[in-house]
Each structure stands twice: as structure tokens, then as C-alpha cells.
Amino acid sequence: RPPVEEGPTAHDAVALTEEGARHPVMRIGASPEDSKKHWATLPALASNAPVGGPRPGASVLAVTTSASGVVSPVVAVQRYGRGRSMVFAGEASWRWRMR
């Protein structure tokens, strides 16, 4: 098995966007800056599903970068009708709980 890369420069690591740092669903710290620090310490995802670009009106809250350098949305939210929708396009987020 290849070693798991970790940290903000590892491919498939999740990075909050500026909007994601302020959004309540991504808050895992006391402040937006604190949340960004916590997200940066999580292990990288195993991979990311290719979902394409965001739809008009969607807010991308987190992105990941592939080994080839392509930046893709991994968490996005959007109002839909009277409700809201969210997509998580990552794989193996269970690693976050196990560490």
C-alpha cells in the first residue's frame, strides 16, 4: 500500500474556500480562521468523484486538488425550491474519524 499523504499540500486534501470558512455547515472551530486550521489537519481523501463545475447559484465550500493539479469542488450547497441541497464528492472520509 502506498503511504497516505497528509497536510494542505497533499493531493486530495480538503481545503475550505473563503465562503466555506464562514458557512455554518463547515464550522469545526470557534472562528473561520480556526475552522480553516482544523480542516487543514485532516487526512487527505482517498479520491474525489468528478462532479464537474458548480451549477449557477451553488456555493462551493471546499475543494480538493488531484495529483495532476486539477482543483475540484468536494463540498457544495445550493438552495433548491423551498429547501437546500448539498453534495459531498469525496471518498473515504471515514479516515477523519479514525484518526
Nearest to 65 by CA among 8, 3, 1: 8
Q: List strand residue ranges (DSSP E) for the chain, in order.
A: 14-16, 47-48, 59-65, 71-80, 83-88, 90-91
- What are the backbone dihedrals phi and psi of residue 75, each rounded to the nearest 5 degrees, phi first? -135, 125
Model pLDDT for residues 37-94, shown as the tens digit of each residue: 999 888 888 888 888 888 899 999 999 888 788 888 999 999 999 999 999 988 877 7
Question: Which cell goes with 22?
Answer: 464562514
Examine the pLDDT at 6 and tell me if it is beyond 80.
no
In single-letter form, the type of residue at position 60 comes to V
Integer Cα distance of 83 and 85 in angstroms: 7
Residue in the structure block whose three cell numbers are 450547497: 77
Amino acid at site 37? K
β-partners of residue 59 are: 77
Cβ atoms 57, 19 nearer than 8 A: no
Q: Residue 4: pLDDT band by 50, 70, 90 thresholds?
A: very low
Split at pLDDT 50, 70, 90, the class of 10 is low
